Structure 1
Amino acid sequence: MAERRPLKYIDPVRYPEHANQPVRNARGWILLASTVLVPGSVQSLFRVRRWAKISLILTLIGWALLLIAALTAIFARGFLITLGTNPFVLTGVTAFLAVYTLNWIVCLLDTVRRVKLVTLSPKVRRTFLAASLVCTLVIGGGLAWGTMMINSQRQLMTDVFAAGWGQRAVDGRYNILLLGSDAGKGRTGIRPDSLSLISIDAKTGKAVSIGMPRNMQNVPFPEESPLHKHYPQGFNCGDECILNAVYQQGEKHADEFDGKTPAGIQATKDAAEGITGLKVQYYAMIDLKGFEQLIDAMGGIDIVSGKRVPISSKVNPKTGKHGPVKGWIEPGEQHLDGYHALWYARSREFSSDYERMVRQRCVQQAMLKQLDASTVMLRFQDIAKAAPEVVSTDIPQLQVDKFVDLAMKSREHQMESLNLTPPKVNPTHPDFGAVHELVSSTIEASEKNAEDTAAGLSALAGVALATGGMHITAAQPEGGNGTDEDDKAICHVP
């Protein structure tokens, strides 16, 4: 009788030729799933030690970062926003994701090679190749897209926002001057077309919008302003000395300013302080010539227009009148692209400065309301590309997280508005003492409303707990609409 040879174990992972067909097929799927979830695991099985070690370390770091980000989003949203707006952190994350994505794709391709497609049954082979391609496109493409998104965020932070440290809130508020101009960064002859001051409660995010007419005269400058010594009684030299001419006065005396921001901007901030009695920490200027591009990047905006607004022809220099109207933006609910939104905000023909200010505020509020998470995710590349050409600001990079958090809180409140226009204020002969009182009383009322809203929400939460966890949703006030019926008759945000 012949001697029986002892059975010898053959590893089916590394030597699939000696395994039966079901084992070979299962082996292929297991290796593919392993490399998709844990890049480097397959290389470790095949004893490619150095590559496997590096890949597994990258995988461990990647999963750890994902877990930390998820937990932080739930329990410490503010800290996550801080990290997400820090250019140094974004640079590091971009570099890591680029390396991780490249390694993931190479690991997947190497795994497909090591599976040895000839060992799979014909039917499984086709399915396996299709699954590998889908994984490459979906996961690899997703990682590449995420890398580009984070890099765009990094570029946006460095291109738009300033370097340096931030300023503290004054009397519990941040005050930001918003300017709309027809001239972009670095151009001469800037005359802000629209001016408003946004005063934000540093704790609640409750905001007040203060509209200042561009033709306001006799604007005072604080004593510490370089222009105060030139105009100690206010900017008073006739009809030409109006608010939107202050910018050029600042540029004229640029050597007297500190040079940290354009002298015209600093002068206009000083004028806004003199008008409102509020300390202005920052500014943001929107170039209306690039505004059209930003609106289009957002996919347009929705407003409800109460009046017919013309798209005007150029002014005839001889007659000083517009040519024939080229078109109209009709009353009712409208979805406006960049071109029509720009005309809606700027059109002067057949309307007063007051109506124009209200329309500009409607456009701003529509942008803020519709710039939600889904819009940003879907159109972030276009928005990030357009923003540096449209917006300039002295808000520092290190304080952006604070304002992002306040912007999210502000969605819980209705923005109050105050327009320094007739009949409340006479732009030609304004009483700035009365204006200061008007601003102060509006802010006090806004703060009280915020406290009442917070108390009401707390009471609702208490009732929900007392009723055994019944789901109760507080009706949120609609943000963006004017507080006066006159404003709403001109336009509002749906």
Structure 2
Amino acid sequence: MSNALPLKHPDTSSPALMTRRAWWLVFANLVIPGIGPLLAGNRRFGRAALRVWLGAIVTLIVVLVLALVLRAPLLFVLTTVWGLGIVKWLLLAYGLWMLVTMIETVRQARLVKVDAAARGLVLLVAVLLGALPVFGGVFAWAQVGQVQSAVQTLFGGKKAGLTLPSDGRINIMVLGADRGEDREGSRPDSISVMSFDMWSGQLVTIGLPRLLHGFGFVDGPMRDMYGDDYSDCNVDVCYLNSVYTEVEVYDYDMYQDAEDHGSERGIEATRDAVEWITGLDIHYYVLVDMAGFATLIDAMGGVEVDVQERVGLGINDDGTNPDWQPPSVYIEPGKQVLNGEMALWYARSRYESTDYDRMQRQRQLQDAVIAQLPGKMASRSSQIMQAVDDVVQTDIPQGAAGLIADLALKSRGRDDNSRVALAPPLVDPEAEQIDYDVARSAIRDALDGKPQPEDTPAE
């Protein structure tokens, strides 16, 4: 080596040779951190640096393999504060270590022996190349830190914990509500349940119209108050979405531990009703503030929705506004990537649309966001996590969020995904009495993979 490529034992009397050697060492170390000092003669340092580099390569390969064949454990780690903390500090430490290897490379290059005209340029290039990984490490440290902070704020309360699946499924209640300052309390405009098979990811989405009435509650304080008939309630109408409002507005002394578990009393009361209606255990909830939904969708870079019917951006003419005009902008049928503003209109538009149509679009949009969110996290995690904290509330604990994200990814594109809507023709929410046994039977058939008369694929 010393005769053919004089890197370790160079002729220090030749400035030209020492200049070429310096360039060789700097760029070799850029490609393989640690190879510069090793070739220059500092074997102990060079071997240690190469071990770090090989360790980083092995770690990257393991992560890629996990992402392809065993994604759940990886996502579990990446949705915990401690897991993200390890990632954050490792990225910063690796960037600093690469700088250290470049500094040692420059020291071994013996710049005093390099041609005087090239000496400053070699040093400048080495400093820039050594500083780039540090800047990258600091940037990555800050980005992961933002995600870590959002994970700590968003997922679960201080007493929240993992919940075991029921019959091999995880069931998540999804609520969509406007929490504007002009509203007393909050009535969820859309209520649905996403039921995932723990092994395959097969998804059954159950839509519950807010107009459901005459239902009961599973064991708990609301059952003690109303039993199996939520009819003579303390608010103006006794609908499913009234449960939340009643409990919160009247400040009932119940579900006192809800906040400690990352929930609210109104949400827990709604959960008890949804469990009674569907016959399912609700393991977690997700509440989406529709008022801030546009921010989240813009952070995702848009959301893809299969628009079934033309939707006008406007409201119906109720005769109270003399300046009313029909919409001039429409969302056309077909697969569309909607930005935040258009998605919000898609969920809220009342123009030539029934209440059921609007609730269906809201559930479709929520399902699409939840299904597409995990895939967008890889490239837009910082923007998404900043928006999620303001838009989403959940009792899903750290770690479990990763497992559920894996199920959401598994569910994408499955032919056996299905939707059960507790609406006509299955049940009539406006009937004097609703046959909830029929609803539970249809839900059980869907979970068992039996075809439904009006079965449609879940988005």
TM-score (norm 1): 0.76
Aligned-partner SS, 2:229: coil
Cα distance in structure 2, aligned partners of 1:16 and 1:357? 80
Residues in 2 aligned to 1:106 and 1:360: alpha-carbon distance in whole angstroms: 54
Read off the aligned partner of 1:392 and give its amino acid letter.
Q
Residue 18 in structure 1 maps to residue 22 in structure 2: no
The residue that corresponds to 2:438 in the other structure is: 434
Aligned to 2:379: 378
Contact 1:315–1:321 under 8 Å retained in 2: no
Q: Determine if contact 2:207/2:420 at 8 Å carries over to the other structure.
A: yes
> How far did 1:113 drift?
6.5
1:231 Cα deviation after fit: 1.2
Shift of 1:45: 6.1
> CA shift at 1:205, angstroms?
1.0
Corresponding letter in the other structure for 2:309: K
Match of 1:276 in 2: 278
Q: Percent identity?
A: 30
Q: Output aligned runs, 1:25-424, within 5 Å.
A: 25-34=20-29, 37-39=32-34, 42=37, 62-63=56-57, 65-73=59-67, 76-108=70-102, 111-112=105-106, 115=109, 116=111, 119-120=114-115, 133=128, 136-137=131-132, 139-162=133-156, 163=158, 164-183=160-179, 189-222=185-218, 224-237=219-232, 240-251=237-248, 252=250, 254-260=252-258, 261-312=263-314, 319=320, 323-325=324-326, 327-333=328-334, 334-368=336-370, 370-371=372-373, 373=375, 375-414=376-415, 415-424=417-426
Write the letter of the residue equivalent to 1:246.
Answer: V
Does structure 1 conserve the Cα–Cα contact (< 8 Å) formed by 2:23 and 2:122? Answer: no
Shift of the 135–365 alpha-carbon distance from structure 1 to 2, 3 Å rule, reads farther
* 1:349 Cα offset (Å): 3.4
Cα distance in 2 for partners of 1:357, 1:288 equals 12
Greater Cα offset, 276-285 or 97-106 = 97-106
SS where residue 285 of structure 1 aligns? Answer: strand
Contact 1:32–1:111 (CA<8 Å) still a contact in 2? no
* Shift in Å, 1:372: 6.2
Q: CA deviation at 1:427?
A: 0.7
Would you say the 8 A contact 1:12–1:24 is kept in 2? no
**SS of match in other structure, 2:419:** strand
**SS of alignment partner, residue 429 of structure 2:** coil
| 2: CA distance, partners of 1:127 / 1:45 | 16
Q: Distance in 2 between matches of 1:311 and 1:410?
A: 31
Gaps of 5+ in 2: 1-5
Of 398-407 and 383-392, more deviation after overlay is shown by 398-407
Counterpart for residue 459 of structure 1: none
Per-residue deviation at 1:370? Answer: 4.3
Shift of 1:208: 0.6
Name the structure 2 match of 1:465: none
How far is 1:225 from its partner? 2.1
Instruction: Compute the displacement of 1:84 (Å).
Output: 2.2
Q: Is the 8 A contact 2:75 2:399 kept in 1?
A: no
Deviation string 1:123-158 (CA, Å, 9 cap, x unpaired) is 898699568746754x44544443334323322321
Contact residue 75 and residue 406 of structure 2 kept, 8 A: yes
Q: CA RMSD in A?
A: 3.9
Deviation at residue 262 of structure 1 after TM alignment: 0.6
For residues 179 and 18 of structure 1, the distance between their equivalents in structure 2, rounded to whole angstroms, comes to: 77
1:251-276 C-alpha deviation (Å, 9 max, x unpaired): 23542214232100000101111111
Q: How has the CA–CA distance of structure 1 residues 348 and 225 changed in structure 2, closer, same or farther, with 3 Å as cutoff? A: farther
How far is the alpha carbon of 1:219 from its aligned partner? 2.1
Instruction: State the alpha-carbon separation in 2 of the partners of residues 397 and 276 from structure 1.
Output: 27
Change beyond 3 A, Cα 1:265–1:44 = farther
Question: 1:216 deviation in Å?
Answer: 1.4
3-state SS, counterpart of residue 255 of structure 1: coil
Decide whether aligned partners of structure 1 residues 63 and 416 sit closer, same or farther in structure 2, where only a CA change above 3 A counts: same
Contact 2:205–2:418 at 8 Å: present in 1 too? Answer: yes
Structure 1 residues 311 and 118: CA distance shift in structure 2, 3 A: farther
Q: 1:56 offset after TM fit, Å?
A: 7.2
Structure 2 Cα separation of the partners of residues 327 and 424 of structure 1: 35
1:180–1:195: 8 Å Cα contact kept in structure 2? yes
Aligned equivalents of 1:37, 1:188: Cα separation in 2: 62
Q: How many residues align?
A: 438
Secondary structure at the aligned position of 1:209 is classed as: strand
Unaligned stretches of 5+ residues in structure 1: 1-10, 450-481
Instruction: Give 1:3's aligned residue.
Output: none
Give secondary structure in 2 for the equivalent of 1:18: coil
Asked if the contact 1:304/1:331 (under 8 Å) is kept, the reply is no
Letter in 2 for 1:38: P
- State whether residues 7 and 21 of structure 2, in contact with CA within 8 Å, keep that contact through their aligned partners in structure 1: no
Partners in 2 of 1:306 and 1:201 — Cα distance?
A: 27
Could you report, residue by residue, the CA deviation over 1:342-395 in whole angstroms, capped at 9, with x for unpaired residues? Answer: 11012223211221132223323433454464x433322111111111111111
